[in-house]
Amino acid sequence: MEYRNLGKSGLKISEFSFGSWVTFVNQLNEKEAMRCMEIAYERGVNFFDNAEAYASGASEVLMGKILKKLNWSRDSYIVSSKVFWGGDLPTQKGLSKKHVHDACNNALKRLQVDYLDLFFCHRPDPETPIIETVFAMNDLLSQGKIMYWGTSEWSAKEIKTAFKCASKYKLRGPSMEQPQYNLLHRDRFENEYDEIFKKYKIGSTIWSPLASGLLTGKYNNGVPSSSRFKVKGYEWLADSMDGINFDLIGKINSLAKEIGLLPSQFAILWCLMNQNVSTVILGASSSTQLKENLCAIDLKDALTLDVTDKLNNIIREGIKK
């Protein structure tokens, strides 16, 4: 495993990390989730991603229980939470100073840690002035409850506003963004954020490198019976299949096989080739999937310039059709 700086910060984050969305509690019980975390850590993964919204807090409770059992030294791993969707009451959601503080304190309890390394605003909140959130995050930084704060799926304009507010009051702006980035979803990361990466040098912890599994090719002939698309409460994910070019996915999968990679490994490694990516957050509903994905780290050299040229041609042709 190699480690990248999280943007311009000094934090060294593993190129692959492991997240718990959908999987923890819904698909992985304690024993299986623990096995996955152990496998990841043994392979050098140092970042574990979570959020108050995941399984309505139960994902953080489970991860906290596992962290306690594994008893890893606290200085050897990075753990995150995210604030936005905390509950149904008006005070339990969004990015108000109150909810940012409550969400952080609740995450600390659920994860059984003294501080969060990364704390994200899970979405922008049009009903809270950005300056209020910037101040709230800086309070948590000075209280030592979080190490770095960041955004997730904020527009470039919103991120710029956060930096302007921070600069005006000599506060710290966001250190990282958590956007979706994969072969099917590139525009925001590669175009909209271009200026943000250049100007502010923020890091990125990118999500859904496999587009929820679509890039593995296993949806090319319909939804497989054991899939997150069938997990209760996540049926809406099937909407993401609308407009998907399965012919293009099939061709990308064939290119992967041609160079001796599994489609999943190819898609994950492709994300890592972008130097604005600090870490690729892997998701897995079994230890077999996780092992397969982690193995990609040893196969980085397979994505040569010749291969990326071929890939770009396939994509260009696919878009033309």
Residues that bind ligand NDP (CB under 6 A): 19-21, 23, 27, 49, 122, 152-153, 178, 207-213, 216, 218, 227-228, 264, 281-285, 289, 292-293
Helix, strand and coil in the chain, % to nearest 5: 50, 15, 35
Please check whether residue 289 is in contact with residue 23, taking contact to mean a CB–CB distance below 8 angstroms.
Answer: no
Please check whether residue 124 is in contact with residue 162, taking contact to mean a CB–CB distance below 8 angstroms.
Answer: no
112 or 180: CB nearest ligand NDP: 180
- 161: tokens are 């506003």
54 or 200: CB nearest ligand NDP: 54
27 or 138: CB nearest ligand NDP: 27
- Specify whether 181 is catalytic: no
122 or 251: CB nearest ligand NDP: 122
Question: In the complex, what is the shortest distance from the CB of residue 305 to ligand NDP, in angstroms, rounded to a whole number?
Answer: 25
- 239: tokens are 């909407």
Question: In the complex, what is the shortest distance from the CB of residue 20 to ligand NDP, in angstroms, rounded to a whole number?
Answer: 5
Please check whether residue 85 is in contact with residue 53, taking contact to mean a CB–CB distance below 8 angstroms.
Answer: yes
Burial 20-42 (b: 16+ CB within 10 A, else e): bbbbbbbbbeeebbbebbebbbe
Please check whether residue 65 is in contact with residue 32, taking contact to mean a CB–CB distance below 8 angstroms.
Answer: no
Q: What residues form DSSP beta bridges with 205?
A: 279
Query: Is residue 316 within a helix (H) or strand (E), and if so which, with residue range?
Result: helix 305-320
46 or 178: CB nearest ligand NDP: 178
List phi, psi (to 5°) of 58: -70, -25
Question: In the complex, what is the shortest distance from the CB of residue 292 to ligand NDP, in angstroms, rounded to a whole number?
Answer: 4
Which of 54, 148, 181, 200 is catalytic? The answer is 54
The C-alpha atoms of residue 252 and residue 272 are separated, in whole angstroms, by: 17
The residues annotated as belonging to the active site are 54
